[in-house]
Amino acid sequence: MAGRAARGRDAQAVRLPRHPRVWLAGLLAWLGLLWWLSSRQGLPGPDLFPHFDKVAHFTYFAGGAFLFGGWQARKPGFSRISGRLMLLTIVFISVVGIIDEWHQLHTPGRSGGDVWDWLADTLGAICGVFVLKSVHPQPRRDSRSLAE
């Protein structure tokens, strides 16, 4: 019964790109768009509700974590979304958030260095890796290796 449920879950799994270059291309596009957005003197669009910018940071950086983690998971050395990979992803995306805030400090018309923006970036990264882990196919562990 458990085997049938697992097969059903695999059949419903999201089809994700297999080649790391696809993930890397997405990540580089994400980084490029982030740099471009941070270079803009003012971003168009209304604030739909108070602290809307924090939701935007959270969502955007969750996407970045999903792309970075997916890229790393397809490289040799990582066959699954492990705790080590999740931590690496969170740290990388959090550092990107720090660099983004620093970049905005030097952009006319922008106020960078916002700790709350960086916190939203980091929390988004945490959420992004958990979403990736939930949809990324995990290799089955061999029961013989568990007994050893």
Q: Give the domain ranges of the chain.
A: 53-138
With H, G, I as helix, E, B as strand and everything else as coil, classify residue 46. coil
Q: Does the pTM of the predicted model rise above 0.95?
A: no
User: Which two structure tokens, joined as six digits, stand for 60?
Assistant: 């955007």
Per residue of the chain (148 residues), what is the pLDDT tens digit? 444 444 444 545 568 778 889 999 999 999 999 999 999 887 666 677 778 889 999 999 999 999 999 999 988 877 678 899 999 999 999 999 999 999 999 988 888 888 999 999 999 999 999 999 998 877 665 544 444 4
User: Which two structure tokens, joined as six digits, stand for 41?
Assistant: 């003197």
CA distances from 48 to 31, 43, 52, 97, 115 (A): 25, 14, 6, 23, 21
- Picking from 6, 24, 1, the residue whose alpha carbon sits closest to that of residue 137 is 6
CA–CA dist 118, 20 (Å, integer): 27
